[in-house]
Amino acid sequence: MKKTVLITGAAGFLGSHLCDRFIKEGYHVIAMDNLITGDMRNIEHLMKLEHFEFHHHDVTKHIHIVGELDYIMHFASPASPIDYLKIPIQTLKVSSLGTHNVLGLARVKKARVLVASTSEVYGDPTVHPQTEEYWGNVNPVGPRGCYDEAKRFMEAITMAYHNTHQVETRIVRIFNTYGPRMRLNDGRVLPAFIGQALRGEDLTMFGDGSQTRSFCYVSDLVDGIYRLLLSDYVMPVNIGNPSEITIKEFGEEILKLTGAKQKLISLALPKDDPKQRRPDISKAKALLDWEPKVNRAEGLKITYEYFKSLPHDELFKTEHRDLEKLNK
């Protein structure tokens, strides 16, 4: 008998890579998405498979699944600042009401559930690198509060279901991840830089570009998450790549990789932009025997080839959905 996994947010960047991994591991995959920021093209190669099914559904509404479920991967949520600034209410609802529904389903089905949290729970961190024991420095009423606080609530309700109803839960805190199937226009730094390089525009960084980020290639992330799911560890685990780089240096790497002749120019810093980001991954190393394998040069090359292979007009598309209209 194949094990069955429900993946929410399956048509998104990370969700679609998880679908690939679970299919490869021999699972029956139930993919669920309301397509608010996702794209069916990310999973169209799976649609004809016998052990893949797609449910177009908003997880903030009651989730009904027929039959047994072994695992639930809760990845539904807008994830880029451009998205969650446009749809703050949807963002709050998916990690609160949506997580509540997912946990209720896990309880009924006796399924193990893994929820996708984020390094944003650390806010603009005063501890560096960030360990799982750090409680964070988040502004609840700032522009990013809708995402950061929703994810903090998600972690809290997940622990409550574990402690109260003995639901088997896992919490991953994901740091910046990149790879094929990111959207060019989602406002995250890597697709933004590559899009600008390909369009012949200058690369725009916020402030002087001295803020740092650490980028993890998607296959490494998926492997860490898969190991965490199968482990018996209940508390949050950081998964990310600790190799830290300033945004300015990163922009220079992209210019070199793409051979673009443009310059890096600076824009005003957005409010509450974190100054530093680097995961402490000691826990993942010790508990999961996991560490990232793909270095930035290799990962960037694959990602750049993916963006180059997209139809040329994709490069010039602004956001294709009128997200604000959906913010109910």
Kindly list the catalytic residues.
147
Residues 74-93 that bind ligand NAD (CB under 6 A): 75-79
> Minimum Å distance from CB 176 to ligand NAD?
5
Q: What is the DSSP string of 213-253?
A: EE-EEHHHHHHHHHHHHHS---S-EEES---EEEHHHHHHH
Tell me the C-alpha to C-alpha distance, in Å, between residue 189 and each of 26, 123, 214, 230: 34, 18, 11, 32
Q: Residues 60, 130, 169, 211: which binds ligand NAD (CB under 6 A)?
A: 60
Distance CA 81, CA 222 (A): 22
Interface with ligand NAD (CB under 6 A), residue from 6, 174, 184, 190 = 174
Phi, psi of 164 (to 5 degrees): -90, -45
Q: Does 38 bind ligand NAD (CB under 6 A)?
A: yes
Our finding on whether 23 is near ligand NAD (CB under 6 A) is: no
Number of residues that bind ligand NAD (CB under 6 A): 28
Instruction: Say if CB 101 and CB 160 are below 8 A apart.
Output: no
For ligand NAD, the closer of residues 27 and 75 by Cβ is 75
Give the Cβ contact number of residue 324 at 10 Å. Answer: 9
CB of 277 to ligand NAD, least distance (A): 10
Token pair listed for 59: 């997880």
Quick one: which H or E segment has residue 283? helix 282-288
> Of the listed pieces 161-169, 171-179, 293-301, 318-326, which binds ligand NAD according to CB under 6 A?
171-179
Q: Give me the least distance between CB of 119 and ligand NAD, in Å please.
A: 6
Q: Which parts of this chain interact with ligand NAD (CB under 6 A)?
A: 8-9, 11-15, 33-38, 58-60, 75-79, 94, 98, 116, 118, 174, 176-177
